Chains A and B, each alone.
Chain A
């Protein structure tokens, strides 16, 4: 008896198979890494190899949701587009009704509740994305949250999703230091973590940072190359 047809049916051992399969779809997506520093939050994604004739700019995996929050995802890009759209509208609705920018936790909770709703409705399938949502609340606290297709969310200091997420997470666990004061250290950690799994170095990394009270900044290719070179030099020094 297959329990994986309908999303609204539990299996005898307590699984929602569709949600599990959605998580498998996430594991096939390109890697994304998030690190929360003291004064800066960083998101890095593995850039997919783009065909020769394809325009590079249309494949953006890091999206800003508001002035103070942005996110990256792993999994089905089309599903992510829907979530991002709804989240952007909700950020503005929050500003309208509460006259304050939404906190990172609020928008994460909103996204998670959309995802959860789709695990409990008839005729729909879950969203096949996990997302990393970062930003600053208007009182200055930085946050990093991860959501997954089941609709749960957790706060993290540093995390990775997508292909080889486990390897990257282990690397982060080994190398994350509490109270990383320097912004450069936080950025370097994110790049080093991505370099573990990305082939051919800095060319295939896309990085976005946000410092407190500033808007999101996508790093240019040259800046990323600078960091990569610095990292290589440090590695050489150690060995």
Chain B
């Protein structure tokens, strides 16, 4: 499902900077990019940077990346817990402490954001559109497997063109709780636990030691919250607030949003 067929007719015109020679012949006329795509159109949705040999300062002209982040999601008996931080950094500069890294695809599907903010939010909004069309055509909700597959296929078309996206698609469908990791390299993996980002190692440590299948909802939320907090404590690129969501059979609920400093006092206080 190429972008052209997904975005047919009622979409804006997305054209790449066509005088750049891409390695596998994605030139004008070869990818059908919608009406009126003409050479020299200056709407660029890819990073021009890393593709030309004469760009000395290429890597510097980056879009704000969220590789510096911690997002995690895990399955348990009552569904899926999704916990994320909210810091965005550009190098050593903290650009924002209040980024929403969980994208609400529809009332029963969530996507997390790691990598390029624009890539994540754009493709997941596109995914929301596809999911809605599926629902209307087939008179039933799309499964998490199918939704993650649609996203993976959409993004695979652009493999090697500089997309940066590492997302977890979480939901509840006929088969129960669903959790898939999808990234711009073309990986799509089903699993019970994922943590993505620079702080993921710290988060894994906490969740691995505390995860049991028979956790109650509060215990699971607390585990997710604690994992993100510990990651923000040690990782410079993660911080801000911990946003926590719970996906259950009725859909998702936003459980809490707590500032990391407040959590720090909460956890460290009893030690004194």
Contacts and interface: CB of A to CB of B under 8 A. Distances in A.
Interface of A: 97-100, 103, 106, 109
B138 A97 contact: no
B161 interface: no
Contacts of A106: 138
Interface in B144-170: 145-146, 149-150, 153
B143 interface: yes
Which secondary structure characterizes the binding site on chain A? helix
Given A97-B1, A97-B150, A103-B138, 13 more contacts: A97-B146, A97-B153, A98-B142, A98-B143, A98-B145, A98-B146, A99-B143, A99-B149, A100-B143, A100-B145, A100-B146, A106-B138, A109-B137
Chain B, interface size: which category?
Answer: 10 to 19
A98 B137 CA distance: 14
A109 B137 CA distance: 10
B155 to A, nearest CB: 14
12 contacts: A97-B1, A97-B146, A97-B149, A97-B150, A98-B142, A98-B143, A98-B145, A99-B143, A99-B149, A100-B143, A100-B145, A106-B138
Which secondary structure characterizes the binding site on chain B? helix
Contacts of B1: 97
A161 to B, nearest CB: 26
Contacts of A98: 142-143, 145-146, 149
Interface of B: 1, 137-138, 142-143, 145-146, 149-150, 153
Nearest to B190: A99
A85 B54 CA distance: 51
A98 B143 CA distance: 8
Nearest to A102: B138
Contacts of B137: 109
A189 B153 CA distance: 46
Nearest to A139: B174
Nearest to B145: A99
Nearest to A138: B174
A99 B142 CA distance: 11
A99 B138 contact: no
A97 B138 CA distance: 14
B175 to A, nearest CB: 9
A97 B149 CA distance: 6
Contacts of B138: 103, 106
